[in-house]
Amino acid sequence: MKISFIGIITVTVFAFMPLISQSQDISKTVEKGTLLYENMLSSENDLKDWKLEGPAKIEFKENWMHLFSPSEEGHHVLWCPEDFPANFIVEWELQNQETDAGLCIIFFSALGINSKSIFDPSFPERNGVFKQYTKSNYFNNYHISYYANTKDNRAREIAHLRKNCGFDKVQIGELGIPEKSEFIHKMRLVKNGAHITCFVDGRKIIDWIDDGEEFGSVLQGGKIGLRQMKWTHFRYRNFKVWSLEK
């Protein structure tokens, strides 16, 4: 049987076309405006105002922040203390330190009822249990799971976008961070009004527009948090948030 090298080249080119197209989408969508917040996450001092919920430990090695739960005791959320506007771009880098199992989520536009902070003392304390963040009756948010390899759902890998407090799965996206990847990955999340997009290394994994009707009003500004399930150990650095260019 003869093998056509032209055919192989053609197949190879088409296999990579989606990645090229998605990378181009970044520049076509929005541009970065003012840098609103920057944190290298390289030392204990960098996290002095951040809030950790749940049984987790934070360590710093080689200018990286390591986040994990000793003895896999429980799930956890680490909140940036800043309040961000309705429109923003956030980028961060991370790397898996334990590929056996885990799940990474970013919460965003997290705001309490009546525009209260999610840390308002009148709200119940949280300890990392998922329903406190997704089925709460006192604050709302969006969240994207971009690494998914849990012990009860091995190698799901596909990114999901949910809108809370209804825990509504509004989009099943594309492959997030591969389950066994040990590479350093760069994440980019863009909220442009009702339009939400998310990228892993320039590859689009989420692209959804909230119509503000089916699942309630479009969520606006609020806090950003990083969540891990108890089996997870990732390291993070270079967390930056920009406004959108007007």
- The pLDDT confidence band at residue 17, using thresholds 50, 70 and 90, is very low
Mean pLDDT of the residues in the chain: 90
Q: Indicate the number of domains in the chain.
A: 1
Q: What is the mean pLDDT of residues 38-67?
A: 98
Beta strand segments in 13-133, E: 32-39, 51-53, 57-61, 64-68, 76-79, 88-96, 102-112
- The pLDDT confidence band at residue 2, using thresholds 50, 70 and 90, is very low
Q: How far apart are CA 45 and CA 155, in angstroms?
A: 35
- Could you list the residue range(s) of the whole structural domain that residue 189 is in? 5-244
Q: What is the mean pLDDT of residues 218-237?
A: 98
Closest C-alpha among 115, 153, 107 to residue 134: 107
- CATH number, domain containing residue 17: 2.60.120.200
Q: By mean pLDDT, which of 31-45, 125-139, 149-163 is the weakest?
A: 149-163
Report how far Cα 246 is from the mean position of its chain's Cα atoms.
24
Structure tokens at 85: 């506007």
**One-letter amino acid of 123:** F
Backbone φ and ψ of 4, nearest 5°? -90, 115
DSSP structure string for 132-153: HHHS-SSEEEEEEEEEEEBTTB
Residue 144: strand, helix, or coil: strand
Q: How far apart are CA 14 and CA 19, in angstroms?
A: 10
**pTM of whole model > 0.95?**
no
Q: What pLDDT digit, counting tens, does each position of 89-132 carry?
A: 999 999 999 999 999 999 999 999 999 999 999 999 999 999 99
Q: How far apart are CA 80 and CA 86, in angstroms?
A: 16
